Structure 1
Amino acid sequence: MKLTVVGGGSTYTPELIDGFARLRATLPVDELVLVDPAADRLELVGGLARRILAKQGHDGRVVTTSDLDAAVDGADAVLLQLRVGGQAARERDETWPLECGCVGQETTGAGGLAKALRTVPVVLDIAERVRRANPDAWIIDFTNPVGIVTRALLRAGHRAVGLCNVAIGLQRTFAALLGVAPADVHLDHVGLNHLTWETGVRLGGPGGEDVLPRLLAEHGDALAARLRLPRPLLDRLGVVPSYYLRYYYAHDEVVDELRAKPSRAAEVAEMERRLLEMYGDPALDEKPALLAERGGAYYSEAAVDLAAALLGGAGSPYQVVNTYNRGTLPFLPDDAVIEVPAAVGAEGASPLPVAAVDPLYAGLMASVTAYEDLALDAALRGGRDRVLRALLAHPLVGQYTYAERLTDLLLAHNREHLTWA
């Protein structure tokens, strides 16, 4: 089995390699290709990847290359984890929206739109090259904004599934609080990527006992602290929102916090510098503890599980993924990309039935879906007016004067990545 990781020079990659090594019975990878244009990073990450596999007794071969066509040739699955513009672009995404009093964040709001505009054309080019190399290959997208990128891939007819680590992180949190194995916890997880709610936590499978009321009653303070939301809000909602909902439920508070401290991008850039120094140590043969602070927790487990299921292996039959709505949420278009539990197999992902959704969540989902549709249109066709329309539609922007100013700022900071600007 050959797997290719586009963006293989990322400091995330050793987390992924560790998962491939530990979970080789689930996903027996013979050849792992790491492709990245940054040759210096790729050499460091590739060296550590080989040492991790060797230490854990995995006999798979690690290949590093900057040649995308060679990397995807014959690949059974291609994982996308690229960042167009690198951490420098992320730094800008997180700062210029603050000039208008709007959240600066790389996956949502104006910053998220900028990332989508930079990313979608690049991903679609990669996907076409994957299709030419092997039309049966699966594309697993971990590249943000996952919902918009996955929607672009599916609309273009690619065999693609979007993946995020939010659900698996909450599954692990709930399992620890309940004192059970993570595999025993099934989430009633509903929404869009980075806009989700846990409306049920079931033991034993999709039809199991819902213990969410007990979790909120016994561990509400701990959950509220993890999400940085007030405990009374969780009690009133009766659900556990993704921590990304804090950008909506506490928008002005978050803006004040972001203005008062260095950006997350600056923190990550320093972390990456230290990680790459560690990766260059020939004695290091395991992922360093610092990597846990980089983000992407449990990404490897989720990626292995998804790839194994898609490739006919031993992956879990039910997984939380990003895929077409297909009537699952009747208030959204069929071609909206939603993030819900799905039956996953060699034919792809089919969403499981979802109970009626509270209008409190359904309304926000519908609003953000409309924004994502406009954002994808802007990414595919370009144009200042399309960017403005997307920003006007986003619940975190909305006001005309803000949208006008943010459009100008977005274009000014991203011209080198936008061929039409």
Structure 2
Amino acid sequence: MKLVILGGGGFRVPLVYRALLADRSPRRVTQVVLHDLDSVRLAAISGVLASLATDISDAPAVTTSTDLDEALRGADFVFSAIRVGGLDGRAADESVAAGCGVLGQETVGAGGVAYGLRTVPVALDIARRISVQAPDAWVINFTNPAGMVTEAMSTHLGNRVIGICDSPVGLGKRVARAVGASLEDAWLDYAGLNHLGWLRGVHVRGRDVLPDLLADAERLESFEEGKLFGAEWLRMLGAIPNEYLHYYYFTREAVESGTSRGAFLLEQQKQFYAAPSWESWERTRLEREQTYMAETRDDERDSDDLDGGGYERVALDLMHAITSDQRATLILNVPNGTTLSCLDADAIVEVPSLVDANGARPVSVSQVPDEGVGLVTALKVVERATIKAAISGERAHAVKAVALHPLVDSVSIARKIVDAHPLLSGVFRATF
């Protein structure tokens, strides 16, 4: 099978390849094409992959290409992990928002909208070209903001594009450890949007063990989300939120921290790409994992959370279920249908989904908590306003998308963000 990785010069690509090397299934990936616009980054990452494959005789063959159409031809799967504007863009997204006194974060708030405004036009062009060059390919989207980008790409690819994220699986692993179970033995009742979801139940051998966990403060605060939100707040919610909800529940503290993850990663990765090797990649990766959401924690991350990502495992399980037609249930970004009553059928939601040769479809889950319905519906409006602005190129629509976000408290600030952003100013035309 041929797998094309868009954003193939990206830092996390070796995680995907490492998972492919460990895969011994009959219909495993045998050919990997890395596509990127930056040939220097491609060379750096392909060198790391070559080191990983040393002494593995049947390692998937790796080629690189800066020509998108050439890379796509004959693809069975396309993994999209692009970053439009690079880490410079992320740093700008975060610093412009912070400079205006609102949250600066890659996928949440004004920073997430700015990232979406840049990314959606490129993602739509990619989707169109996939539909021509590889119409039978399945597209796995990890490009952020993942829910928004998946919804935009679905206009050309329908249900052949499926969004993935590592946050729900990371939460699931930690909760399973806390209740003394393995993730494989637990069914997670999870509902929401990408980076905006709640774990409503943890079913082990037919029994929901989440109430027991919520009642045990020591166990509840033994893992990342418990420490992040505190046992009292989690008990009040009766659920465990995705870690990104920290930015909504503790907005003031997040804004006051003034931390720019983008600026940190930009400097860190400059050092890696200047002298790439397997050793420097692993060292940089470990530092990246140790400092993930560091501004929200008072102590170090648990060593069990430092393996790296988790999205590569989700991607591999997704590919296996499709190619083998053996059913699997994974938390994915898929069309809602009738799953969440607060959203329409076409809305991309993040819920447990049944996967087989026909793709992924959501299964029945608990509804979004009452106190989360407003957030979910508001964020879906923001996602769609961002898509509309990105397609129209009109400043008024871009301002509207930023202003409607619950974490942006002023239309005037929204105008300032759009006009001050170095990668947005001049892009959107004024209509009035």
TM-score (norm 1): 0.91
* Residue 43 to residue 226, structure 1, CA distance change in 2 (3 Å): farther
Aligned to 1:414: 424
Contact residue 164 and residue 332 of structure 2 kept, 8 A:
yes
Matched, 1:290 2:291: no
**Counterpart amino acid of residue 424 in structure 2:** N
Matched, 1:395 2:396: no
- Specify the SS of the correspondent of 2:320: helix
**Counterpart amino acid of residue 212 in structure 1:** L
* Residue 404 to residue 276, structure 1, CA distance change in 2 (3 Å): closer
TM-score (norm 2): 0.89
Aligned to 1:370: 381
Aligned to 1:214: 212
Which deviates more from structure 2 when the two are superposed, residues 240-249 or residues 56-65?
56-65
Aligned to 2:153: 153
- Specify the SS of the correspondent of 2:257: helix
- Specify the SS of the correspondent of 1:156: helix
Q: Distance in 1 between matches of 2:401 and 2:410?
A: 12
Deviation at 1:37, TM superposition (A): 1.4
* Residue 161 to residue 227, structure 1, CA distance change in 2 (3 Å): farther
Contact residue 26 and residue 304 of structure 1 kept, 8 A:
no
Contact residue 18 and residue 287 of structure 1 kept, 8 A:
no
**Counterpart amino acid of residue 173 in structure 2:** R
Deviation at 1:217, TM superposition (A): 3.0
Which deviates more from structure 2 when the two are superposed, residues 339-348 or residues 52-61?
52-61
Aligned to 2:416: 405
Aligned to 1:357: 368
Structure 1 unaligned spans of 5+: none
Q: Distance in 1 between matches of 2:387 and 2:150?
A: 10
Deviation string 1:301-354 (CA, Å, 9 cap, x unpaired) is 11111122233365x610100011112111111111100001112222110012
Structure 2 unaligned spans of 5+: 290-307
**Counterpart amino acid of residue 210 in structure 2:** L
**Counterpart amino acid of residue 63 in structure 1:** T
**Counterpart amino acid of residue 66 in structure 2:** S
Aligned to 1:339: 350
- Specify the SS of the correspondent of 1:365: helix
Q: Distance in 2 between matches of 1:365 and 1:293?
A: 33
* Residue 30 to residue 419, structure 1, CA distance change in 2 (3 Å): farther
Contact residue 343 and residue 351 of structure 1 kept, 8 A:
yes
Deviation string 1:266-287 (CA, Å, 9 cap, x unpaired) is 2212332344366436xx5x96
Contact residue 418 and residue 424 of structure 2 kept, 8 A:
no
Deviation string 1:359-394 (CA, Å, 9 cap, x unpaired) is 111121111111111111111112111112212221
Aligned to 1:306: 318
- Alpha carbon RMSD of aligned pairs, Å? 2.2
Deviation at 1:148, TM superposition (A): 0.7
Aligned to 1:82: 82
* Residue 344 to residue 127, structure 1, CA distance change in 2 (3 Å): same
The structure 2 residue matched to 1:348, chosen from 344, 359, 373, is 359
Which deviates more from structure 2 when the two are superposed, residues 16-25 or residues 268-277?
268-277
* Residue 72 to residue 413, structure 1, CA distance change in 2 (3 Å): closer
* Residue 125 to residue 189, structure 1, CA distance change in 2 (3 Å): same
Aligned to 2:22: 22
How do 1:57-68 and structure 2 match up within 5 A?
Answer: 57-68=57-68
* Residue 11 to residue 224, structure 1, CA distance change in 2 (3 Å): closer
Contact residue 83 and residue 119 of structure 2 kept, 8 A:
yes
Deviation at 1:154, TM superposition (A): 1.1
Aligned to 2:267: 270
Q: Distance in 1 between matches of 2:309 and 2:150?
A: 21
Q: How many positions carry a matched residue from both structures?
A: 409
Q: Distance in 1 between matches of 2:40 and 2:263?
A: 21
Task: Give the share of equivalent positions with the same residue, in percent.
Answer: 36
Deviation at 1:414, TM superposition (A): 2.3
Contact residue 196 and residue 241 of structure 1 kept, 8 A:
yes
**Counterpart amino acid of residue 245 in structure 1:** L
**Counterpart amino acid of residue 102 in structure 1:** V
Which deviates more from structure 2 when the two are superposed, residues 208-217 or residues 137-146?
208-217
Q: Distance in 1 between matches of 2:341 and 2:287?
A: 38
Contact residue 186 and residue 203 of structure 2 kept, 8 A:
yes
- Specify the SS of the correspondent of 2:324: coil
Deviation at 1:160, TM superposition (A): 0.3
Q: Distance in 2 between matches of 1:354 and 1:32?
A: 36
Aligned to 1:234: 234
Aligned to 2:330: 319
Deviation string 1:14-56 (CA, Å, 9 cap, x unpaired) is 1111111112327611101111111111112112212313445
